Each structure stands twice: as structure tokens, then as C-alpha cells.
Structure 1
Amino acid sequence: MAGTKKGNLIFVGPLPPPILGESIALQSLYKSEKLHQRYKVKKINLSRKDFEHPGALSFDKLFTDSFAILYSGFLSLAMKNPILYISISQTKMGLLRDCMMIQACKVLGRGKVVTHLHGNNLGGTIDATSGIAQKFIVNALRKIDVGIVLGGKLAPNYRGHVKRVEVVSNGIPADFILKSEVGQGKKKRGISLLYLSNLMFEKGYVELIKATTALIQEGHDLRLDLVGGIQNESEFQEVKRYIAVNEVDQRIQYHGLKQGEEKKRFFLESDMMALPTKYKVEGQPMSIIEGMAAGLPIISSDRGIIAELIKDCGVVIDPTVEGVKEAIKNLVIDDAERMRLGRMSRETFEEYYTEDKYTDSLIAIFDEL
């Protein structure tokens, strides 16, 4: 694109902190050198402190949303034919805010709109609205030029109001874990299981702990490492007491939130990964893609497009204690299957889920518009 004028892009969505799958994915695009080479980018960061209650009203949220709407309107007027790229909200108040920004871009800037859905609850939010609010939302959705989803199964979330829907899978840097590093940190004895996500009840970490405890008490040489931020402190303290009462605190350990090389070490030292999520807005967890990069077999549930993501390299389970326990036990006792799924994880990651594939696909959509 050397010698040609840069396009204008208004970039809207939550960037870290907090560290969530959506914010990590958005940050990788925002930091893309290629994006800034081709576009003059103005960002509107919608990061929120309270990820436990994302739709809750607060003064801080009202101020942030009001500023976002006004600033997007100003940028739409000031920039020539901008593209509004927005990580569309899945809460009612957030969706109304986003629709106001879409309308501003179309009316004030005569620009193009690309929305990116990082989950699986937009359709439910649309259905839950009525009257003037629903008419306003539907009118805005029909003005979207391209709606992006993480997998084809999530396209119905737009409820048919967006004419063009494209699939772009998440991706992580190809050098996060090199192929030559896979398997290098694994311990000599026992099987090491990794849970890496925020410790939310909806993510299934409680069921995972109970299943692992039962297997340890049955005599299996197994350990579980929990890595991530705590969402509910009182719930977590109950879980700690359960671990202590069952005398498995040497085998099941919580390590806090880890990033960079520390996080990478946990992936390299593990034999398999589990995320028995029940989270209703689950899309395509970044942590699972990271586990695939590390060559780990994945145990997870049919939420969002997880089943599609791990169909060749994991086990899809019912996120109950018994469902989790059976899947773990089968892979603990079957070394050959565990190794096979691990190899498929790495191969699938390399073919489909690198950061370059993710950012290039999005930039290609912007370029076309």
C-alpha cells in the first residue's frame, strides 16, 4: 500500500485490562503493524472493570458509554469515509450504545460498518428487547456492511438483519510456543492437567476440581493447576476449603493470574487441558487455542463453537462432575490417545489459528470496503 493514502478506521471495543478472550483478540488486531500501515486508526476503549456483571448500570459505565457515543460521532464527522470496526456488545445497554455509534457513522460520516461478535448471546439480547428499543436496534443492524462471527454456528446471532456475515477465527502469535518447544517442559511422572481461564463458576472450574479430587482418591497419579483471575472470592474460599478437607492441596493448586513466559511455562509443563464451561455467552476461548499451540489434548463442552474448534484434537463433554471425570480418566489411562490428540492440537493450530491468519482476514475485509 506504499504511495497510497491511508484509510480511516474507528476501532471500538474493550482492550486489556481485564484480560479476557475478547480483549486479547482485539489487542492483537490493534497492535498489528499491518493495520497501522494501511489505516489511520482512532481507538475508543470500552474496557470495563466489572466483568462479573457486564450489563450492570453504574456511573462509570454511563460516563464511558456517553463519551464513546459522542467521540464516535465526532470522529465520523472529522474523518473522511471512515470504517467503524466495533466489537458488538451482547448486553442490552451495550448494544443500544453500539447501535447509536453505528447510526452516527452512517449518518454523520457516511462510512462503512464492520461488527465483530466475540460470543454467542447477541441473538438472545435482540430477542429480549421490544418496542422502540428493538426497532432502533434492528434498524441499526440492517446498516451493518459486514458482520463477523468466530464460527458459522454463531451467524444466527444476527437474526438475519445483517446481509453479509463472514467467519474469522481467533488466532494467537505463531511464536507463542514454537513447535520445537512442545513437550519439552513436561514432568517425568504423573499426568498434569491445566485449567487456564478466569475462575468463574460458569466456566466449570468447580466441577473440574471435584472430578479431579475423585480421581486422585481413586489412586490416579494426577495433578491440577488452576491459572486465572478470581471472579468471586467467597466462592473461591469455599473451593479452597473443599480441597483442604479432601487433603488434595498438594495435587490441586491455584497459581493466580499469569502472563507471558510464566503462562507459557504452565502450558509446556502440562499433559492436557480442561475447560468444562457452561458460560452462556461463550464463543471461541483464546485459552483453548493457546492449549492447542502447546500440543495439549483439550477437554471441553459444546458451548459457542468449542465443539467445532476441538473436533479433531479433544473430547467434548457434558460439563458435570461425572462428565468431566470420565473424560479425564480415559485420557489418563490411554497414553496413545492422549499423545495422538496432542499432535492433532498442534497441527490444527498451525493450519487455522495463528494470529497472522486472524489479522490478515480482518484487514482484507477492511480493504475490500
Structure 2
Amino acid sequence: MLNQSKNIFNSGKTIFSAVMDGKVTGQINTARFLLKILGENIDESRLVLLEQPEKSKMFFFNWVKYLANFAKTSYFNNIKCVYIVANRTRKSFWFRDLFPLTLAYFSGAKLFYHIVGNDFRDFIDSLSAFERKFFFILVSKNTCTFVVLGSRMEDEVNDTISTCCPLSFEKEFIHLPAFISNGSIDGSKEFFESAKINSTITLGFMSNLIPEKGFNYFLEACTLFLRNHPDCQVWIAGPKFVDGHYELLDELVDQKRITYYPYLDGDRKWQVLSKTDIFALPTFYKAEYLPLSILDAMLCGCYVISCDTGDISKYIYEFNGALVDKESVTSIFNQFEKFLGASQAYDRNKIRDFVVDSFAEAKYRETLSVVWLT
């Protein structure tokens, strides 16, 4: 528990606003965990959830309910804090984030603006000059605390504000990196194989199957690798999207050269990752910062191959992975071959211990206490 005498969240009402339901993403997982921790440390009567509507066929109906809840919330007295897990698109600003931002503005509450994706500049650029000024008016009335994933994101937000904001205002930053839940640590441990690495190599990929995640570059590199090492096992997991380019994926699946999982979660995810040697995510997605799938892979002892995107390079060392060139089949293939030649040197226990020590839930909670007591 937090020090209640210092906890400003218990000096008045706290409004927590985020999308809580829908397709599970890093943003939704973050929002759920934040609400859980707030609920553990704030009197129930002081915590109000202003749940934002998820993208679905029922969006309009849920949005009307959201407006009704906003209207009800706006009559509350003594609102001290408004915490928003930001959506960062022009449409979401008008249909979701505008309302809690308005609450913070008119109540004089302390504003926490939590940015989960590395796309704040893209969001600001998508706004018209009027919308941009309106947004910064809302966040600048009181000192705004930007909650970001790390130093690179802080630099991006600062640079964006300095070049795009027509106003000067006081702001603070708190770094709140990704985390691995205690449930994930315990669940993965059940299937963890410390001696998995051997001459028969297994390659894997897990993410949304959009071009910027690099899945086609992974598949092309795997095709080359399979020519030299036909006993190699390959799997790829992630949902497909309309107008995606899945010709190569479908061909390899039809030929039974790779295994495709539309979704991997729960025990099945840990089982598959624990039998994997190399996990590759050669992402060049602009909004990427630190994909949770990379942390899941390291938790299972996988050697990780990725790109210098977002904050990924900060956590890739010689003992646990390698960085490859963006949009380069050759670079990925070469790392596959390099790993095979030195696979016995990699310690799955060391890889798992590193990610547990760096991203344990307890460490995240400790950082959260700084947020709550600011």
C-alpha cells in the first residue's frame, strides 16, 4: 500500500479514463493494470471509472452511454486527479479523450496523460491548427504530467511540444516502462525449458500481421534458411487484417513448411515460446516502443532478433539477441545462420533472469508509487 498521508489520489476524487474492453492490446493491458493498482490504493468512494467506448459495431450506443457517464461525472465536487490513458488519434481525441481532458481543465484537477504508443508526434500532426491549439489549451491550464515509456518517448514529446505548441506551459515527465505480470512469470515457468537450444532450431514470430511489423521479411528469411536447414521448425502467430499481404504466408502454410496460429495466449503461448530458439520481430512500425511479445519471448528464454525501433535496442545485448537492419531479408537470414553456429553459447536461464529482473511487476509497482505520490 502507498503512504496514504502523501497520496494525493486520496485527497479527493480521481477520474480514470481509458478504453478497457475490446481486442487485447498493450494499451488495454496497461489500463487494466493501472486501474487495478489504483483500486488497491484509493478509497472506493474516491475512484471513478470513466470508461471509454471500444471500437466495435456497438460504438455509437456505447458512446452515448459514455456521454451520459461524463455528464454525471462532471457534477462531482472535489475532483483532484484525472488520469487518461491516451488514444492518440484525431478521431479518438474528439470522441474519447476530449471529455476527461475537459473535466481536468474546468475542475483544475491534476492531469496525468499516459502515452503507451510511440506516436505522439503523428497524433499532433494529424490535428488542424485550431485542433492543435485547442488540445494544448486543455492540457496546459495546470501542470500536466506526461507518463511515458522511457527517455526516447520523453524526447519525442518534448520535441513535438517545442515545435508544434503555440503555448508555453509547465509539464512533468514520469517514466513508466512495460512490465511482466506475476501471472506471466508463474505461467511461463511451468513450461520453461532451460536446455531447449540444440541443433534442430525453431524460429517464431508473434504480432499483429501488418507489413510494418516485418512479418513478410521474417517469412522470406525463413524460406532461405529452410533451404539450408530443412529440419528447421517455423511458426508465426497473429491476426490477419483486411487488405493484408498474406500470399507468402498462405503459400508456406499450404506447403506445410510453417505453422500458423491466428492467436496465441495463455498456456498455449508459453508452450510454443518455450520450445522456440529464435524469436524474430523485425518491426519498423512507427508507433512501436517496446513490444510485449519480445518480453514474453525472453521470459521463455528465446534469443530475440529485432530492429532499432523505439526503445528495443536498449534491451538487446549479445547474450540475449541481436539487432538487424530494417526491411532487410538478408540481415535477418544472416542472424539466423550466426545463431546456429554459436547456439550452445546462449543461456536460456540468463535470458529469462534478465527480463524478470528488468520488468517484474514489483518494479512496476514501485515506479507507480512515484506517480501516485507526485
Match of 2:332 in 1: 324
**Where in structure 2 are the equivalents of 1:150-229 lying within 5 Å?**
150-158=149-157, 159-160=160-161, 163-178=171-186, 182-183=192-193, 186=196, 190-219=200-229, 221-229=231-239
Equivalent residues, number: 352
CA shift digits 1:337-358 (9 cap, x unpaired): 4x14x44432332222122322
2:171 partner SS: coil
Q: Which is further off, 39-48 or 212-221?
A: 39-48
Contact 2:305 2:323 in 1 (8 A): yes
* 1:35 partnered with 2:39: yes
Which of the residues 129, 132, 148 maps onto 1:131? Answer: 129
Does residue 45 (structure 1) correspond to residue 55 (structure 2)? The answer is no
Specify the alignment match of 1:106 in structure 2. Answer: 105
- Residue-by-residue CA offset, 1:84-103 (whole Å, 9 max, x unaligned): 11111221122344244212
Which letter does structure 2 place at the counterpart of 1:147? Answer: F
Q: How many angstroms apart in 2 are the aligned matches of 1:203 and 1:329?
A: 22
The 2-side partners of 1:256 and 1:185 are apart by 28
Structure 1 residue 184: Cα displacement: 5.2
Identity score, percent: 22
Distance (Å, rounded) in 1 between the aligned partners of 2:195 and 2:259: 18
- Which residue in the other structure is 1:55 paired with? none
**Within 5 A, what are the aligned runs for 1:1-369?**
6=10, 8-32=13-37, 35-40=39-44, 41-46=47-52, 48-49=54-55, 61=59, 64=62, 67-68=65-66, 71-72=69-70, 74-78=72-76, 80-96=78-94, 97-107=96-106, 109-142=107-140, 143=142, 145-158=144-157, 159-160=160-161, 163-178=171-186, 182-183=192-193, 186=196, 190-219=200-229, 221-232=231-242, 235-236=245-246, 238-243=247-252, 247=255, 249-250=256-257, 252-311=258-317, 313-319=320-326, 320-337=328-345, 339-340=346-347, 342-368=348-374
Contact 1:16 1:24 in 2 (8 A): no
Cα-to-partner distance string for 1:107-153 (whole Å, 9 max, x where unaligned): 1x332211111111111221343322111112123245310111110
Moved more, 297-306 or 22-31: 22-31
Look up the match of 1:54.
none
CA shift at 1:71, angstroms?
2.9
Specify the SS of the correspondent of 1:118.
Answer: coil
Task: Determine if contact 2:204/2:235 at 8 Å carries over to the other structure.
Answer: yes
Q: 1:81 to 1:288 in 2, by over 3 A?
A: same
After superposition, the Cα gap between the structure-2 partners of 1:49 and 1:265, relative to the gap in structure 1 and judged at 3 Å, is farther
TM-score for both structures, normalised by structure 1: 0.83
Q: 1:91 to 1:291 in 2, by over 3 A?
A: same
**CA distance 1:106–1:121, shift in 2 (3 Å):** same
SS state at 2:239 partner: coil
Q: Offset at 1:25? A: 2.2
Cα distance in 1 for partners of 2:4, 2:143 equals 30
One-letter code of the match for 2:368? L
CA distance in 1, matches of 2:175, 2:19: 20
Q: Distance in 1 between matches of 2:77 and 2:330?
A: 56
CA deviations over 1:23-48 (Å, ceiling 9, x no partner): 1222223334x633424333233353
Q: How big is the shift at 1:162?
A: 5.9
Q: Which amino acid aligns with 1:230?
A: K
C-alpha contact 1:147 1:162 (8 A) present in aligned 2: no
- How far the C-alpha of 1:230 sits from its partner, in A, is 2.1
Instruction: Give the TM-score of the pair, scaled to structure 2.
Output: 0.82
Distance change >3 Å, CA 60–CA 122, structure 1 → 2 = farther
1:259/1:244 Cα in 2 relative to 1: closer, same or farther (>3 Å)? closer
2:164 alignment counterpart:
none
Instruction: Confirm or deny: 8 A CA contact 1:99 1:141 kept in the other structure.
Output: no
Structure 1 residue ranges, 4+ long, deviating more than 4 angstroms after superposition: 1-7, 59-67, 178-181
AA paired with 2:16? F
Q: Structure 2: 5+ residue runs without aligned partners?
A: 162-168
Are the counterparts in 2 of residues 295 and 345 from structure 1 also a CA contact under 8 Å?
yes
Helix, strand or coil at the partner of 2:24 = coil
Alpha carbons of structure 1 residues 37 and 262: separation in structure 2 relative to 1, 3 Å: same
Which deviations, in whole Å up to 9, do the C-alpha atoms of 1:248-268 show, x marking residues without a partner?
Answer: x24x11022122111111121
Give the conservation status (yes or no) of the 8 Å contact 2:19–2:31.
yes
- Which secondary structure does the structure 2 equivalent of 1:35 belong to? helix
Q: Distance in 1 between matches of 2:244 and 2:136?
A: 40
